[in-house]
């Protein structure tokens, strides 16, 4: 594997159900992603975007094919190892936020840091919550937040562990255009500072334009790439 490739995907398939009702959510994806880059994934609803992101995040296993992240084959990890891999390396902003409703904003943000037994970098948390406009809402229960506010908490939580890999599923779907641009700016700044790799699903053309590279998925397959370059 080349030194600067952080995610190496080889012919992955993810099928649900059985013939004749089989759903081929992913049907042969091969892709390399370079360390420190920002990749946008675009495609119609149901094309397989979230499925792909979840597989890269080690949240699910492919039906066949391999995924290596930083040289490690994710299929070789058992359940516990996969959980540790995710906690230490991957920040995920889920399409439906996945916040813990019993906890307040601050507790949600630092949860992945504390569960791994690490000390919270208060200065860093203060910096990201300020930039995300959450600093005056830290004590609020997440149930009392708007969709856009929840989305920003999910982003702060993903950043809190300073992940190697930042996987974002429509992180600006509920944000206005100005806030979206600010959030993307923050993610880009963070990725530059911490040498993070960002993979982001978006339906927003303007945001896709801000990425180093755009990958389009249709019916579980990659169809085009920016600048017509090969994926490898």
**Nearer to ligand ATP by C-beta: 23 or 115?**
23
CB of 14 to ligand ATP, least distance (A): 8
Lookup: tokens for 4? 């600067």
Angle between helices 122-131 and 105-115 (to 10 degrees): 140
Query: Where does this chain bind ligand ATP (CB under 6 A)?
Result: 16, 23, 25, 43, 45-51, 95
Lookup: tokens for 58? 């080690």
- If contact means CB under 5 to 8 A according to the sort of partner, which of ligand ATP, Mg ion, none does residue 47 touch? ligand ATP
**Nearer to Mg ion by C-beta: 161 or 200?**
200
Sign of CA dihedral 110, 113, 116, 121: negative
DSSP labels, 62-114: -SEEEEEETTEEGGG--HHHHHHHHHHHEEEE-TT----TTSBHHHHHHHHHH
151 binds Mg ion (CB under 5 A): no
Lookup: tokens for 138? 């830290």
**Nearer to ligand ATP by C-beta: 45 or 146?**
45
Largest CA distance in the chain: 55
**Nearer to ligand ATP by C-beta: 14 or 137?**
14
With CB atoms as reference, the residue minimizing the distance to Mg ion is 50
CB of 96 to ligand ATP, least distance (A): 10
CB of 47 to ligand ATP, least distance (A): 4
51 binds Mg ion (CB under 5 A): no
């Amino acid at each position: 594997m080349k030194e600067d490739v952080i995610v190496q995907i080889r012919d992955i398939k993810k099928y649900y159900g059985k013939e004749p009702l089989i759903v081929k959510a992913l049907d042969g994806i091969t892709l390399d992603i370079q360390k420190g880059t920002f990749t946008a994934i675009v495609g119609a609803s149901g094309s397989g975007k979230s499925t792909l992101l979840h597989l890269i995040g080690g949240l699910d296993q492919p039906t066949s094919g391999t995924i290596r992240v930083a040289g490690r084959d994710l299929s070789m990890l058992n359940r516990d190892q996969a959980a540790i891999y995710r906690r230490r390396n991957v920040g995920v902003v889920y399409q439906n936020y996945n916040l813990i409703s019993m906890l307040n904003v601050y507790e949600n943000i630092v949860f992945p840091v504390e569960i791994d037994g690490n000390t919270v970098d208060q200065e860093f948390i203060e910096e990201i919550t300020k930039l995300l406009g959450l600093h005056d809402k830290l004590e609020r229960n997440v149930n009392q937040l708007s969709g856009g506010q929840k989305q920003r908490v999910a982003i702060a939580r993903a950043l809190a562990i300073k992940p190697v890999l930042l996987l974002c599923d429509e992180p600006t779907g509920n944000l206005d255009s100005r806030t979206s641009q600010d959030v993307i700016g923050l993610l880009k700044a963070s990725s530059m500072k911490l040498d993070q790799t960002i993979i982001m699903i978006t339906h927003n053309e303007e945001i896709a334009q801000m990425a180093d590279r755009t990958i389009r998925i249709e019916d579980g397959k990659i169809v085009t790439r920016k600048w017509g370059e090969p994926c490898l």
